[in-house]
């Protein structure tokens, strides 16, 4: 059996010599055992990945291979298929002679002979000597691939199709043409969305089109505006700001004649489905276009603009929406593409302004975008500890907002704060709908408080620049799901909107989402502000409540009665992570507003046992912590047992703590476990305890998000953008980047999506020599295709623990050696730069949200623990569910924020030796990272 050149689209052809007499038996053999389809006209057998060409030669003599010989010895000249249910195929062989290894009962490899004497293998392993399964369990009908086919891309087959994300179909029955357009205001991340849509479309065997200049391009039509694009067209787009395919508002498309032209031009281009990335106005237009489609094509047929064949072919237009808007004003989704990038610009600007404000003890009024939505102003207020915010959802009378603002600022100033920051959304109004401008706020601050005040209007700076990591990843995952949605849609399927809820990509009805969004603006304009707030997502309302609580701190009467006031300890454990200070600041200020007394345990458990480093926190000392990196109260990796758990219990009892909140990574996770287990011996630990995960590795069981992971992603992304620019400038260079993360490949995988890295190696997979060889072959192909053109450089991300032998230096040397002078490779070690400097807005605001949830948990569990502390040690039911649940991890799982008991997580959901959860929540993202760069996985 010989191997010939690969066919198109990754299919490989093998030649098999047979005779006329054995031809039919050979066909039946491969149809039965390997599910290959026979094409009588050209004499081939194929399963779309592998093609066997039958060559008839009557002079051929069938091979005579002894049955007592070990057939694995000739495996190099055999065709070997991988499967997911080897026992099924062994049973299928029936009485035919087979050789099974390592034993007949539980084989990993099965070999049998075809009618021509060729040995053909079936294996559940990557190759003949591997014992690691290559594919998950799935239906047998699609479970075979050729393990000898080095050019086959099987990443689509390694993820099962489901109703929720990710749903990557393994096959597409009908080749479709899918177009993407961006409309309305531009937003960072739109290019990443277009890239993902184009490449996923091509990956699934469909034709990809882009519509230039938004709806204006639909109206004008022709190949200049509706362009078919290829894989290389969108190279590096995820790293670029704005939208490369342009956006424009079209007056013509708002009228039916314009939409009629748009329908004609899509049919002329052969487009079956349209994905629109834009705001509520753009998506409203898209759904109207779809609803009118039957009447539009009927009119085109009656006027002779399209043929009967075209009318029959394009009966339906599938529409899908992805939301690109910096205002984050779309209902039913937690975030829109570009919103967190704009928030990042705002926070960065205010961080800079804060420095000069502090120098001069000055006040600044900062105007941000947000016509009908105050999300940017609200989140910026939380992330930067602004003194006051003005948003359209919560207006007051002119006198009320002025009095309230002056009262708060006066109290802040009287307590020693030198800076004043007031953030005004451009759509801010009073309750009579009179606009509140930054000039109005400036006048009040000067006239009533005699402050030295300046106005800063950020304007379109908020839209500019490249997208942050979150927006790049969000746009990419939504782009993949959008293609899934239009391929799975039927004529009766409502147009979907691709959304995100907490940490889960979801599909929502587009029409309902748009109507809900518009109803908020309608409620504001009709002065029904209570309804407007009710229509906002619950997260928005929660954030607003959080801002008001932490902003009041100890300046007003506590919300809770004195008898319910608590002493709450706060400790950081493990490596520093972005958002730790934000969490501590928010916990402490929220405690103050409730009437609780917050205590910080400085320098972790070791600081407590060695120096009794417990200090009560006051508001003035916390100023500026919200936006600082690192850990102001210090941290280290020692656990309670390492530090002296008995002494820790003594200090807990001495200070009378009613609850403890731990912020940190895996060491903090182990610390919570040790404290919970020690309750039997130490009554001081019979208090509510909760962990807020904070680590760049994102490896804490019980959550899909840890504080610090977003900051780390942004730092690594920025580092990679810079060195990728260097690689592109030299035209022929690869950088191997060493990525932190311990035994978790989360950081490497998601950074690879954000920067478009060609390869990412993670500890969960390791680095096999076979895959490394294939990746080097892929690099050669990509550089050959590049032909020295600009903007072409490659990145390989390697988690430090993916291989201790194949270090970044060694990998770079190997790649350079194999490149034969066509390109070279160098290693790059970002090291602790990945921990980040200032925490990202996501880590700041989520730190606040989780911190306040944690304090609420301590409050809610008091009654349970008070009853437990009155029970004698002998009668204390340590295993009672209500007691076990008082020591929990606060995490994000799917679309929910949940508390999970440390005992459940530690005993059943943790791989302790590797310091990772047993379930890898981000595993499905690896297939997406690979298929978007065309990586071929073995």
Q: Is the N-terminal amide bond of 491 cis, ω within 30° of 0?
A: no
Equal CATH topology for 340-462 and 711-835+926-931: yes
First-to-last C-alpha distance (Å) of the chain: 22
Mark 299-336 as b/e (b = at least 16 C-beta within 10 Å): bbeeeebbeeebeeebebbbbbbbbbbbbbbbbbbbbb
Binding-site members for substrate are 325-327, 362, 369-371, 426, 454, 460-463
- Write down the pLDDT at residue 145: 38
Nearest-angstrom CA–CA distance, 314 and 179: 14
Q: State the binding site for beta-D-fructose 2,6-bisphosphate.
A: 637, 695-699, 733, 740-742, 826, 832-835, 915
Residue at token pair 């990419």? 476
Low-confidence ranges of the chain (pLDDT < 70): 1-13, 48-49, 72-78, 84, 102, 105-106, 124-174, 786-791, 872-875
CATH number of 2-152: 3.10.180.10
Binding residues for Mg(2+): 280
- pLDDT computed for residue 154 by the predictor: 24
Whole-angstrom CA distances from 504 to 164, 490, 694, 910 are 9, 24, 20, 22
CATH architecture observed for domain 553-694+856-885? 3-Layer(aba) Sandwich (3.40)
Q: In what order do the strands lie in the sheet with 109-113?
A: 98-101, 109-113, 119-123, 79-82, 145-146
HSE-up of residue 189 (Cα within 13 Å, Cβ side)? 31
Annotated catalytic residue within 327, 334, 344, 471? 327
Whether the CB-CB separation of 245 and 305 falls below 8 Å is answered with no
Fold observed for domain 711-835+926-931 = Rossmann fold (3.40.50)
Question: Which SS3 state, helix, strand or coil, does residue 914 take?
Answer: coil
Instruction: Label residue 386 left, alpha or beta by phi (over 0 means left) and psi (-120 to 50 means alpha).
Output: beta
pLDDT in tens, 887-931: 999 999 987 899 999 999 999 999 999 999 999 999 889 999 998
Provide the sign of the torsion angle of the four alpha carbons 609, 615, 616, 618, taken in this order: negative
- 3-state secondary structure string across 559-611: CCCHHHCCEEEEEEECCCCCCHHHHHHHHHHHHHHHCCEEEEECCHHHHHHHH
What value does the CA radius of gyration of the chain take, rounded to a whole number of Å?
A: 31
Helices (H), 18-79: 23-34
Q: Output b/e per residue, 918-937; b: 16+ Cβ within 10 A.
A: eebbbbbbbbbbbbbbbbbb
793: its two tokens? 């450089």
Helix, strand, or coil here: 31?
helix
Per DSSP, 929 falls in state H
Active site residue 710: no
Annotated domain spans of the chain: 2-152, 177-335+468-516, 340-462, 553-694+856-885, 711-835+926-931
User: Encoding tokens for residue 858?
Assistant: 């301590």
Q: pTM score, two decimals?
A: 0.81
| Closest to 386 (Cα-Cα) out of 416, 414, 412, 415 | 412
* Torsion angle defined by CA atoms of residues 217, 223, 224 and 227, in that order, rounded to the nearest 10 degrees: 70
Do β-strands 98-101 and 109-113 pair in parallel, antiparallel, or remain unpaired? Answer: antiparallel
Could you tell me if 559 and 595 are in contact, meaning their C-beta atoms sit under 8 angstroms apart? Answer: yes
Contact 671, 662 (CB under 8 A): yes
Q: What CATH number is given for 177-335+468-516 in this structure?
A: 3.40.50.450
Cα 243 from Cα 212, distance rounded (Å): 10
Domain range 340-462, its CATH number among 3.40.50.970, 3.40.50.10540, 3.40.50.720, 3.40.50.460: 3.40.50.460
């Amino acid at each position: 059996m010989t191997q010939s050149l690969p066919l198109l689209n990754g299919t490989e052809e093998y030649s098999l010599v047979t005779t006329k007499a054995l031809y039919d038996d050979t066909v039946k053999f491969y149809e039965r055992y390997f599910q290959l389809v026979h094409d009588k006209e050209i004499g081939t057998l194929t399963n779309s990945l592998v093609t066997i060409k039958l060559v008839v030669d009557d002079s051929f003599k069938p091979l005579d291979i002894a049955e007592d010989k070990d057939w694995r010895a000739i495996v190099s000249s055999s065709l070997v298929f991988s499967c997911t249910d080897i026992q099924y195929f062994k049973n299928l062989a029936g009485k035919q002679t087979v050789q099974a290894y390592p034993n007949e009962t539980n084989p990993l490899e099965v070999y049998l002979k075809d009618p021509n004497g060729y040995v053909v293998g079936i294996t559940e392993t990557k190759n003949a000597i591997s014992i690691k399964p290559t594919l998950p369990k799935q239906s047998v009908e699609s479970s075979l691939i050729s393990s000898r086919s080095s050019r086959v891309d099987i990443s689509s087959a390694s993820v099962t199709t489901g109703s929720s994300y990710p749903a990557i179909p393994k096959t597409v029955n009908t080749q479709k043409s899918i177009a993407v357009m961006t409309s309305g205001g531009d937003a960072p991340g739109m290019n990443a969305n277009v890239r993902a849509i184009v490449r996923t479309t091509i990956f699934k065997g469909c034709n990809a089109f882009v519509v230039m200049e938004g709806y204006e391009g639909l109206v004008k039509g022709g190949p200049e505006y509706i362009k078919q694009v290829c894989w290389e067209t969108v190279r590096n787009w995820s790293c670029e700001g704005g939208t490369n395919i342009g956006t424009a508002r079209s007056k013509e498309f708002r009228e039916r004649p314009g939409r009629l032209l748009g329908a004609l031009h899509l049919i002329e281009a052969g487009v079956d489905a349209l994905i629109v990335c834009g705001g509520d106005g753009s998506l409203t237009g898209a759904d109207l276009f779809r609803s009118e489609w039957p009447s539009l094509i009927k009119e085109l047929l009656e006027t002779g603009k399209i043929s009967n064949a075209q009318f029959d072919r394009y009966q339906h237009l599938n529409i899908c929406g992805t939301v690109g808007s910096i205002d984050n004003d779309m209902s039913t989704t937690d975030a829109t593409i570009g919103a967190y990038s704009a928030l990042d610009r705002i926070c960065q600007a205010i961080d800079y302004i804060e420095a000069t404000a502090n120098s001069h003890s000055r006040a600044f009024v900062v105007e941000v975008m947000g016509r009908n939505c105050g999300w940017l102003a609200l989140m910026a207020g939380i992330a930067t500890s602004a003194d006051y915010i003005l948003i359209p959802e919560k207006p007051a009378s002119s006198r009320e907002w002025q009095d309230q603002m002056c009262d708060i600022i006066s109290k802040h100033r009287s307590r020693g704060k030198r800076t004043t920051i007031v953030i005004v959304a451009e759509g801010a109004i009073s309750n009579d709908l009179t606009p509140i401008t930054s000039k109005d706020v400036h006048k009040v601050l000067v006239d009533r408080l005699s402050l030295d005040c300046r106005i800063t209007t950020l304007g379109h700076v908020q839209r500019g620049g490249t997208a942050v990591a979150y927006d790049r990843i969000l746009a990419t995952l939504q782009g993949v799901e959008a293609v899934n949605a239009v391929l799975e849609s039927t004529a009766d399927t409502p147009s979907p909107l691709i959304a995100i809820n907490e940490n889960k990509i979801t599909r929502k009805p587009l029409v309902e989402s748009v109507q809900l969004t518009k109803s908020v603006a309608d409620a504001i304009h009709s002065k029904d502000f209570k309804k407007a707030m009710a229509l906002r997502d619950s997260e928005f309302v929660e954030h607003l409540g959080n801002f008001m609580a932490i902003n009041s701190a100890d300046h007003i009467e506590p919300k809770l009665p004195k008898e319910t006031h608590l002493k709450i300890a706060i400790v950081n454990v493990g490596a520093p992570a972005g958002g730790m200070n934000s969490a501590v600041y928010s916990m402490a200020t929220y405690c103050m507003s409730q009437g609780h007394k917050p205590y910080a345990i400085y320098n972790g458990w070791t600081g407590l046992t060695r120096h009794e480093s417990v200090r009560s926190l006051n508001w003035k000392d916390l100023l500026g912590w919200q936006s600082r990196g690192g850990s102001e109260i210090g941290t280290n990796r020692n656990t309670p047992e390492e530090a002296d758990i008995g002494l820790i219990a003594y200090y807990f009892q001495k200070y009378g703590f009613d609850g403890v909140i731990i912020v940190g990574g895996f060491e903090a996770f182990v610390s919570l476990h040790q404290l919970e287990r020690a309750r039997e011996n130490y009554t001081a630990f019979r208090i509510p305890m909760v962990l807020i995960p904070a680590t760049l590795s994102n490896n804490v069981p019980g959550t899909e998000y840890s504080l610090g992971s977003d900051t780390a992603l942004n730092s690594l992304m920025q580092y990679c953008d810079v060195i990728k620019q260097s690689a592109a400038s030299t035209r022929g260079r690869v950088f191997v980047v060493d990525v932190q993360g311990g035994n978790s490949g989360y950081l490497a995988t998601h950074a690879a999506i954000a920067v478009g890295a060609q390869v990412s190696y993670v500890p969960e997979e390791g680095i096999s020599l076979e895959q490394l060889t294939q990746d080097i072959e892929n690099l050669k192909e990509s550089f050959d295709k590049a032909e020295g053109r600009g903007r072409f450089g490659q990145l390989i991300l390697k988690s430090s623990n993916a291989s201790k032998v194949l270090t970044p230096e060694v990998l770079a040397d190997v790649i350079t050696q194999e490149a034969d002078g066509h390109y070279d490779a160098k290693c790059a070690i970002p090291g602790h730069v990945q921990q980040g400097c200032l925490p990202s807005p996501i880590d700041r605001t989520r730190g606040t949200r989780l911190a306040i949830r944690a304090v609420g948990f301590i409050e809610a569990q008091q009654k349970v623990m008070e009853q437990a502390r009155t029970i004698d040690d002998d009668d204390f039911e340590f295993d009672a569910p209500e007691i076990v649940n008082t020591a929990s991890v606060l995490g994000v799982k799917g679309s929910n924020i949940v508390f999970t008991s440390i005992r459940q997580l530690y005993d059943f959901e943790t791989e302790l030796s590797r310091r990772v959860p047993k379930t890898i929540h981000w595993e499905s993202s690896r297939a997406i990272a690979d298929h978007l760069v065309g990586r071929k996985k073995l």
